Structure 1
Amino acid sequence: MIPVLEIGGTHVTAALVSPRTAAVATRVRRPLDARARAEDILGAVLRCARALPATPAGARWGVAVPGPFDYATGIALFADVGKFESLYGVDVRKALLDGLPGSPSGIAFRNDAHAFLAGEWAAGAARGHTRAVGITLGTGVGSAFLADGTLHTTGPGLPPEGRMDLARIDGIPLEEVVSRRAILARYGTAADGGGGPGPGDGAGAGVDVREIAERARAGEERARRVLGAAFGALGAELGPRLAAFGATALVVGGSMADSWDLVAPPLTTALAAGGWRPDAGTPDSAEPPPGSRRLVRALLGEDAGLIGAAAAAGGAG
């Protein structure tokens, strides 16, 4: 069994993953405050790892963590991203090696979006696809581009460093258009009559994206307009990139994918307008027909990132 950690903006998960079956055997999940002091963040991560039963002695751990991060050295580079900024410049590798249970032999760090797509390709929604792209929608926008099982950071259609968070829409950083904070800001502005952020009539105050989605389902035009604009903008930016990359699958995960009924329609329309028209329906088998293009919701949830982290630790990705 391979021990792994997945560190996110609101929680950390420790797990044991079977490299043979790509299955998560045991897990412990704990809340995490990404705005806390460095010692508190690292302490929470280590307490979660120590709660994992039967950790193999001398194991090499896999750790999925968002960027910006130096994955080769284990140095955190978070700045101006609204999370983990107290860790900037911290040697996370050393901190974990000194505190993880079982006297680990090493740590393999992996970008969390890369781990997500690697897991979905091994056992989830991207299985059977030669060229796949993964997008995670939550506090930010994560991305990964995979061809023949290998993750790419350069090539036709790819944004700088293979990171969609570095892409720009009409000169504006993509995460200022499509992310939790962008949607909340846009909804607050809409609630204020479009004149600028503010409490306005109170309709945009104190809500989160999940509640905005509920309001959209209930027929609130403001909520539907804001969500449609965000996911439409994402599709318009992604469509030409997917076509240039030759992707046969776009797999969408993250917390916002829970509102798939609201994400998929504007995303599909904008992808098609951008030159990448998804086929109707979802694949019934692991072997997609030649030339198919599938827009699919992630199948494995959190397991995808855990499986991808284990693959990195096991030397398979």
Structure 2
Amino acid sequence: MTTAGLDVGGTKVAGVALARRDGDGAAREGADRILARIHRPHAIAGPDSLVDALEGAVRDLDAQLAAVGEPPIEAVGLAIAAWLTRDREVVTWAAHLGVRDFALRAALSARLGMPVTIDNDANGYLVGEAELGAARGAHSSILIALGTGVGGAYVADDRPLIGAHGLAGELGHVTVDEHGPICSCTARGCIESYAGGNALARDAASVEAAVALAPDGRPTAEHLAAAARAGDAAALALMERAGWAVAAGLRRLLPAFDPEVVVLGGRVLLECTDLLLPVIERELAAHAPLQGVPQPRRLVLAELGGLSAAVGGAVLAERAGRAEAAR
């Protein structure tokens, strides 16, 4: 069976077609299982345009498969930047997509005529890294992903933690300072309020060197990082603070979850690894939780780039198909 995995964020749709490991013909392993891929911007604004965009992505992947003689897609897994009901049937709120209280799984399944599985994008990201990327072989892992905001997930024995209301794994909203900046969730001092892309862009507006690098005078996290690399003291201090916030959050999360692997990912972190990772490692070494207890674990960078969540969506669809077949 070939499954499609789609990752829908605030500005882009990424997708892959994934072959089963035990499919027909020669066994495929690792990245060889990815038969086709797409990555493109979107202008989704509401439920109808969301379903249209997702259908178009699946049709494009199917066309790529047909062109190389591969079998068509039989099931779809979607990793979406949204809050979902616990049963993963309904998008309760997707702020960047203009979608609220929409029964997406049923609507997309009816449009495509095939089974659809849905989870949030952070869970998909970590499932993808656990299957083909940095967390492969681990029995438990957590994810901190710095993007526009800060995503998080916890996977143990191949299963993402969902929680009582479908909202577990919002690790970016762990509080590291009750008197810190106001977060997008309206609380103060979340990891996201220091280290998310929007937070770094907010802070960059007060750094002259970062403003000077922005053609329109509105700096982003990338401009702040460039100013820091050029030696600007204010920019360096803000990047240091972002790294501190991630480490402070991990100091709270590690005793709670005891993961075998910690995956650090997301566009902002992976593009600013040189500035952030040394701070995170230094802070964790200086303030390790449970210091009297041996804690063999790995702090690793995500390996699949922009395909992590799409791969995870495809894997979740494949697993759902196996579970259904076993009933």
- Sort the TM-score into its range (normalised by shorter chain): 0.7 to 0.9
1:1-317 matches, cutoff 5 A: 1-20=2-21, 21-22=29-30, 23-33=33-43, 36-52=45-61, 53=63, 54=65, 59-70=74-85, 72-78=87-93, 81=95, 83-84=96-97, 86-100=98-112, 103-104=113-114, 106-153=115-162, 161-171=168-178, 172=188, 173-191=190-208, 205-256=217-268, 257-276=270-289, 291-315=295-319
What is the CA–CA distance in structure 2 between the aligned matches of 1:206 and 1:45, rounded to whole Å?
32
What is the CA–CA distance in structure 1 between the aligned matches of 2:124 and 2:312, rounded to whole Å?
4
What is the CA–CA distance in structure 2 between the aligned matches of 1:10 and 1:249, rounded to whole Å?
29
The change in CA–CA distance for 1:43 and 1:240 in structure 2 (over 3 A counts) is same
Deviation of 1:65 (Å): 1.0
Greater shift in the superposed pair: 69-78 or 51-60: 51-60
Deviation of 1:185 (Å): 1.0
Deviation of 1:292 (Å): 2.6
Deviations 1:243-268 (A, max 9, x none): 33222321111101122111201111
Deviation of 1:191 (Å): 4.4
Amino acid at match of 2:225: A
What is the CA–CA distance in structure 2 between the aligned matches of 1:33 and 1:268, rounded to whole Å?
38
Structure 2: gaps spanning 5 or more residues: 22-28, 179-187
> Is the Cα–Cα contact under 8 Å of residues 130 and 248 in structure 1 kept in the other structure?
yes
Deviation of 1:117 (Å): 1.4
The change in CA–CA distance for 1:298 and 1:229 in structure 2 (over 3 A counts) is same
Deviation of 1:57 (Å): 5.8
- Residue 281 of structure 1 corresponds to which residue in structure 2? none
Deviation of 1:170 (Å): 2.0
Greater shift in the superposed pair: 135-144 or 44-53: 44-53
**What is the TM-score normalised by the length of structure 1?**
0.80
> Is the Cα–Cα contact under 8 Å of residues 89 and 105 in structure 2 kept in the other structure?
yes
**What is the TM-score normalised by the length of structure 2?**
0.77
What is the CA–CA distance in structure 2 between the aligned matches of 1:305 and 1:58, rounded to whole Å?
18
The answer to which structure has the higher helix fraction is: 2
What is the CA–CA distance in structure 2 between the aligned matches of 1:235 and 1:116, rounded to whole Å?
20
Deviation of 1:37 (Å): 4.1
Give the length in aligned residue pairs.
Answer: 288
